[in-house]
Amino acid sequence: MEFNAIKGFKDILPEEITNWHYLDFSFRRLFEAFGFHEIKTPLLEKNEVFSRSIGQDTDIVSKEMYSLKDSRGQVLTLRPEATASVVRAYIQHRLYEKNPVQKLYSFGPMFRRERPQKGRFRQFHQINAELIGDPGPKSDADIIAMAVFLFETIGLSGLVLNINSLGCPVCRSGFRDELKDYLKQKKISLCDDCQRRSETNPLRVFDCKLDECRNIVSDAPSIPDFICRDCREHFESLQRYLNCLNISYILNHRLVRGLDYYTRTAFEIQTEHLGAQNAIAGGGRYDGLVNLLGGPDHPAIGFAVGVERVIALLEEKQLMETKTPDLFVAALGEAAETQSLNWIMALRKSGIWVETDYSLKGLKAQMKRADRLGAKNVLIMGDDELAIGRAVFRNMATREQHELNTENILDNIRKVLKNNGKQ
C-alpha cells in the first residue's frame, strides 16, 4: 500500500529548503531591527477565538476551518491565521503591562480548507507581524515599510502595494447600508455566494473573482465617499509617510480583505506571477479586536506573508545557489579510514560540511561520489601517505591539488578552506 500526503498538504523536500532558510534568516534579521520579538502560539485554539475574531460570515469561518470536538465536547480549531491567537496570548498574559506597545512576530503553519490550486494550499505557512498598542498612523507606515523592505531584502521586485482605508465602525456602517441597498437592486445578477454575502456581509462581494460580480461592484458606492474626517486624516497621514519613505503604492478602493476585524488601513502586496493567487502579503489595522476578545481597548495593526507564494517567486527567479559539501574525504585503507574519521568529526563539529563514503570503495568510485555531491574540495589519503604524514588536497573547481602535512591537518584544512572562501 502506498500513502500520499493529504490533498492541499505538501511535503517540503530537501532541495526546496534552501529558500526557506534564506527567507527565515532574512525576515528575522529585518523584523528584529524594527524591534519585533518572536511569539509562538499553539496550533489549536478554542473555536470561538477564530470565529469571533475573523467573523462568522467570512469564508474562512463559514466553510474553511478544520475543527474537531475533543472528548468533552469542546470544539477546537486548527489556526487558519495567527492574528487571533497572538491577540488571545496578548490578553491572557497581559503583555501590555510589560510594554504599552508590543511588537510581535511569528512563523508557522496555518490551515484552511480552501480549494487547492497554484499558490493555494490547505496547510500553508505565514510570517506574521503584529504591532499592538499604538493607534497610528506612524505605526501603520512602520508596518507597511517592514513588509515592503522584506521583499526588497530578499531580491523580489515588481511587486505592487495596494492600500485602502476601510473606515471605522461608525463611518463604515453608513457605507455598508448604502452598499446593501445597491446590491439588493442587482441581486439576481450576482453569483449564489454573493447573493448570500449581499445580505450578511456586503463588503465581501468586493472579493469575488467572478466577472459578473466584478462588473456589478465596479459601479457600487465607494468607501472614500463615506469615511469620516478622522479616518480620512489618518489615511492621508499614512500616505504622507509612505511618500516620504519613497514607498510606491496604489490606492485601491475595492480592497476589503477577507477577515472582518479590519478598521481603517488595509493593504496587500501583490505580484503578477502567481495567477489568481496574487497576494503575497496582506494586513491592516484592527483597532477593535483586542477588546472584542475580552481585553482592553488597545488598537493594533499587522500583516502576514504567504511563505509558499514567496518561495515560488524565489524559485522562479532562481535567486539561491544550492549548498554543497565543503569537503569530501576519500580514505583508502583501514588505517587511513580510521584516522580520517576523527578528522571528519572534528571538522563537522566546527561547522564545516564534510562528506565521506560509507562503503569503502576504491579511489575512482569515491571521486565519482564526491563529484556527484558537488563537493568543493576533496582530501585524498591512503595508508602509505598516512605513514609519511602526507595527504592530498584537491580543489574540485580548479582541479589544482597540493600536499598537506597531516600533523596539523585540521588547522591546515581550515586555513585552506578559509583562503578559498568556502566557509
Q: Which is nearer to ligand HAM, 166 or 279 (CB)?
A: 279
> If we measure between CA atoms, which residue out of 61, 92, 132 comes closest to residue 285?
132
Q: Which is nearer to ligand HAM, 259 or 391 (CB)?
A: 259
Nearest distance, CB of residue 201 and ligand HAM, angstroms? 15
Among 19, 126, 165, 406, binds ligand HAM (CB under 6 A): 126
Pairwise CA distance, residues 17 & 15, whole Å: 6
Pairwise CA distance, residues 167 & 231, whole Å: 6
Residue 128 found at the interface with ligand HAM (CB under 6 A) = yes
Residue 121 found at the interface with ligand HAM (CB under 6 A) = yes
Residue 164 found at the interface with ligand HAM (CB under 6 A) = no
Pairwise CA distance, residues 4 & 47, whole Å: 29
Residue 260 found at the interface with ligand HAM (CB under 6 A) = no
> Could you tell me which residues are beta bridge partners of residue 87?
none
Residue 81 found at the interface with ligand HAM (CB under 6 A) = yes
Among 104, 147, 171, 281, binds ligand HAM (CB under 6 A): 281
Q: How far is CA 15 from CA 11, 130, 192, 322, in A?
A: 11, 31, 43, 8
Mind giving me the DSSP string for 186-228? HGGGS-HHHHHHHHH-GGGGGG--SHHHHHHHHTS--GGGT--
Residues 297-356 that bind ligand HAM (CB under 6 A): 302-304, 306, 308-309
Q: How many residues of this chain bind ligand HAM (CB under 6 A)?
A: 26
Q: Which is nearer to ligand HAM, 174 or 258 (CB)?
A: 258
Vertex 131: Cα angle to 278 and 256 (nearest 5): 35
Sheet strands (E) in 153-193: 160-165
Pairwise CA distance, residues 209 & 279, whole Å: 13
Nearest distance, CB of residue 390 and ligand HAM, angstroms? 56
Q: Which is nearer to ligand HAM, 128 or 377 (CB)?
A: 128
Strands 279-285 and 300-306, sheet pairing? antiparallel
Pairwise CA distance, residues 82 & 108, whole Å: 9
Q: Which is nearer to ligand HAM, 116 or 389 (CB)?
A: 116
Pairwise CA distance, residues 153 & 23, whole Å: 10
Residue 289 found at the interface with ligand HAM (CB under 6 A) = no
Residues 170-209 that bind ligand HAM (CB under 6 A): none
Looking at beta carbons, which residue is closest to ligand HAM?
306
Q: Which is nearer to ligand HAM, 126 or 339 (CB)?
A: 126
Asked if 265 and 163 count as a contact pair (C-beta separation under 8 A), the reply is yes
**By CB under 6 A, which span of 93-101, 122-130, 230-238, 408-416 interacts with ligand HAM?**
122-130
Q: Which is nearer to ligand HAM, 83 or 406 (CB)?
A: 83
Kind plus residue range of the DSSP H or E element containing 267: strand 263-270
Task: Indicate the burial class of 275 (C-beta count within 10 angstroms; 0-12, 13-18, 19 or more).
Answer: exposed
Nearest distance, CB of residue 279 and ligand HAM, angstroms? 4
> If we measure between CA atoms, which residue out of 238, 312, 243, 242 comes closest to residue 271?
312
Residue 130 found at the interface with ligand HAM (CB under 6 A) = yes
Nearest distance, CB of residue 278 and ligand HAM, angstroms? 9
Q: Which is nearer to ligand HAM, 77 or 377 (CB)?
A: 77
Nearest distance, CB of residue 334 and ligand HAM, angstroms? 54
Q: Which is nearer to ligand HAM, 119 or 221 (CB)?
A: 119
Residues at the contact surface with ligand HAM, assessed by CB under 6 A: 81-83, 112, 114, 120-121, 124, 126, 128, 130, 258-259, 279-284, 286, 302-304, 306, 308-309
